[in-house]
Structure 1
């Protein structure tokens, strides 16, 4: 299941996406990400993520929401459906410490779906299964759709922010890969009906990596 599938299931299908010129090449949809580490008792407990979907991808979700107020059951139902599909794909995120994968809790402590102009915005806390020490430690994480059907991207370093408790002793570093021309051409050659070979792990090759380093 791709990240766009989670939106399709929540909204009953993205007709607007199918009609878009973007549908003729990978990626077909775009999510702009923002992330802030979550800290408790001087330990890293999770990541607060804000995913803003492009206008075409957002169209059906916002249509289903109609004029419902932000705290209405309509928005809560849509949020639950979208979040369930994110969870089914392990938050579309990998988190590493000293070369080992860090596990996540199965359920987020908080999540919501909202409208921002013509865009749908999913906000949630990705919880780590166990609090992680911060002093002298370094962590890396990355969020991506393995098929690269959806481009999940931090626009710039300002899309990453530290809570005040970490601002003086930690830093976040964003690394954006530079795939070669042949790989980019291959991605662009895929139309909506195509899927790259699973072994190719196409999305990972375009995925940005964030490093959290603390003194």
Structure 2
């Protein structure tokens, strides 16, 4: 499993040997479904589609394995361990305070779609959150910005049918300053941005969930 661990690290710690010497080095397209029942939100069901170059090592390790084969379970566990190590790469806020997550996802899996690897999992909140009359925000990003994680369309974040009449979602895409853009582009794969800068957060989309 040495190669598996190595390739998973390539995906989530972005030490890919790419020819493009600028941030970001890896791209993940996101879709998220709000998980809620009886007026309370319990988590986020996420789907991460990795770009073909990022996917290459994972799919190489999977070989010709069919869906459900043991190798997919092992790869999924390795990837998920790294995601958990970074707190799901997600921040969730309510009234200016971070909402805590459960330590383990309720379910997760890894699959192949063409030439891309797809990770799915449910991010559980440590405690269900009441929705009526409340506003929440959440963002998914790599703090270093080696991995660009984003929603391609506003509709890539969705609500269950039971909430569509009382809640609404909005995806806000930031517009970093020219100075911040130049700084990000100046970094190559061996450079690390100042941790206090939270570079990835400067480029992170913010989703707002507002309920009546």
TM over 0.5: yes
Query: Partners of 2:200 and 2:9 in 1: how far apart?
Result: 25
Contact kept in structure 1, 2:22 and 2:186, CA below 8 Å: yes
- Does 2:166 correspond to 1:169? yes
Regions of 4+ moved over 6 Å:
none
TM-score w.r.t. length of structure 2: 0.93
- Does 2:56 correspond to 1:93? no
Query: Partners of 1:8 and 1:185 in 2: how far apart?
Result: 33
Query: Partners of 1:12 and 1:195 in 2: how far apart?
Result: 16
Give the RMSD, CA atoms, in angstroms.
1.8
Query: Partners of 1:30 and 1:127 in 2: how far apart?
Result: 24
TM-score w.r.t. length of structure 1: 0.92
Query: Partners of 2:99 and 2:52 in 1: how far apart?
Result: 33
What corresponds to 1:109 in structure 2? 106
- Does 2:106 correspond to 1:70? no
SS in 1 for 2:158: coil
Q: Structure 1's 152 and 43: CA in aligned 2 closer, same or farther, altered over 3 A?
A: same
Q: Structure 1's 171 and 86: CA in aligned 2 closer, same or farther, altered over 3 A?
A: same
Partner residue of 1:128 out of 92, 103, 125: 125
Query: Partners of 1:21 and 1:36 in 2: how far apart?
Result: 35
Contact kept in structure 1, 2:138 and 2:206, CA below 8 Å: yes
Query: Partners of 1:73 and 1:8 in 2: how far apart?
Result: 16
What corresponds to 1:3 in structure 2? none
Deviation for aligned residue 1:167? 1.3
- Does 2:211 correspond to 1:210? no
Query: Partners of 2:122 and 2:162 in 1: how far apart?
Result: 18
- Does 2:33 correspond to 1:36? yes
What corresponds to 2:6 in structure 1? 9
Counterparts in 2 of 1:135-214, with a 5 A limit?
Answer: 135-214=132-211
Stretch deviating more after TM superposition (8-17 or 167-176): 8-17
Q: Deviations over 1:100-149 (max 9, x none)?
A: 11000000000000111111010000000011001111100011111111
Deviation for aligned residue 1:33? 0.5
Deviation for aligned residue 1:21? 2.8
Deviation for aligned residue 1:11? 4.1
Q: Structure 1's 133 and 16: CA in aligned 2 closer, same or farther, altered over 3 A?
A: closer
Matched length: 207
Contact kept in structure 2, 1:11 and 1:64, CA below 8 Å: no
Contact kept in structure 1, 2:15 and 2:189, CA below 8 Å: no
Query: Partners of 1:142 and 1:101 in 2: how far apart?
Result: 11
- Return 5+ residue gaps in structure 2 as ranges: none
- Return 5+ residue gaps in structure 1 as ranges: 1-6
